[in-house]
Amino acid sequence: MVSARRPLVAGNWKMNGLQRSAAELTKIIAGAGELAARIDIVVCPPATLVADFAARARGSAIVIGAQDCHAEVSGAFTGDISAEMLKDAGAQAVIVGHSERRSTHQETDAEVRAKALAAWRAGLIAIVCIGETRAERTAGHTNAVVQTQMGESLPDGATAENLVVAYEPVWAIGTGLTPTSADVAEVHGVIRQRLGARYGAAGHGVRILYGGSVKPANAGELMHINNVDGALVGGASLKAEEFLGIVNVHR
Ligand code: PEP
């Protein structure tokens, strides 16, 4: 993947998808067409489908990613999957620190940081998720929460090629709710400023995705906000038509 702030649309399938779901990937590959020359498109199926999807996507412009990895290379970690295993299966990117993992698996910023480092060690792009809860937003703490998560979840050494930041307000994920465009612009501006302060010129090249109830109907507005370089899409990424509807706003 190249990345001079090329738009990037990533689909997070979460715990959805069986072998027959490869039909959706086939439709995405066909439907992306020449648009894939201008934007990066990433599909992150469950781990069981990564190798098959990567084989099917080979030779196309669609990149296959995973949804999580363990920080260690290998060892006695029953049920876990290392970044090296994902790379070996054909993944080129991995989401780390998704709010569902932070909440249901109690993942800390330090663990997310270790996973991002593991991704880099294996040669994967780390898509690191950050975002505030409803209570944190209501209390006026959004910018502080996001800055703390960035400080503690992002490792040193980020470049435009190895890091993507996904701003996902927890209260907007899977709810149909989205922040106002002004609120998205404000938070993405804060993230951009922190990336520049920490990583210099490299930080200005790191893509910042918005995630949280992105649909074809709202993608046009969200994707044209300053410092929004693309989308991380959950529910609407499961059906090729919907996912392509979001990809297509970059036409
Ligand atoms: C997500 O899971 O990262 C996400 C943004 O989900 P949804 O698009 O369904 O809100």
Please spell the DSSP secondary structure of 102-117, one letter per residue.
Answer: HHHS---HHHHHHHHH
Q: Where are the alpha helices (DSSP H) in the chain?
A: 22-32, 47-57, 83-89, 99-104, 109-122, 134-138, 142-153, 181-199, 201-205, 216-223, 240-247
CB distance 232 to ligand 1 below 6 Å: yes
The gap from C-alpha 127 to its chain's centroid, in whole angstroms, comes to 4
Cβ atoms of residues 2 and 227 within 8 Å: no
Pick from 128, 164, 170, 173 the residue to mutate for probing ligand 1's pocket: most ligand atoms within 8 Å of its CB.
173
- 132 catalytic per annotation: no
CATH of residue 118's domain is 3.20.20.70
The whole domain housing 196 covers: 8-250
Q: What pLDDT sits at residue 149?
A: 98
Report the residue among 213, 223, 247 best suited for mutation to probe ligand 1: largest number of ligand atoms under 8 A from its CB: 213
Estimate to the nearest angstrom the gap between the alpha carbon of 185 and the chain centroid. 18
Which residues of the chain are under the pLDDT cut of 70? Answer: 1-4
Q: Is the CB of 173 under 6 A from ligand 1?
A: yes
Options 70, 98, 188, 250, the catalytic residue: 98
Per-residue pLDDT at 124: 98
CB 183 within 8 A of CB 220: no
Is residue 128, in this structure, part of any structural domain at all? Answer: yes
Residue 251: its pLDDT value, please?
A: 83
pTM (predicted TM-score):
0.97
In a domain, 235, yes or no: yes
Residue 1 counted as domain residue: no
Q: What does the pLDDT read at residue 4?
A: 61
Residue 2 maps to a domain:
no
Q: Is residue 3 assigned to a domain?
A: no
Q: 57 burial class (0-12, 13-18, 19+ CB within 10 angstroms)?
A: buried
Contact 53, 25 (CB under 8 A): yes
- Which amino acid residue places its CA nearest to atom 1 of ligand 1? 234
Task: Report which ligand 1 atom has the smallest distance to the Cα of 173.
Answer: 10
With respect to residue 47, please indicate whether it lies within any of the assigned structural domains: yes
- Is 168 designated active site? yes
What is the number of structural domains in the chain? Answer: 1
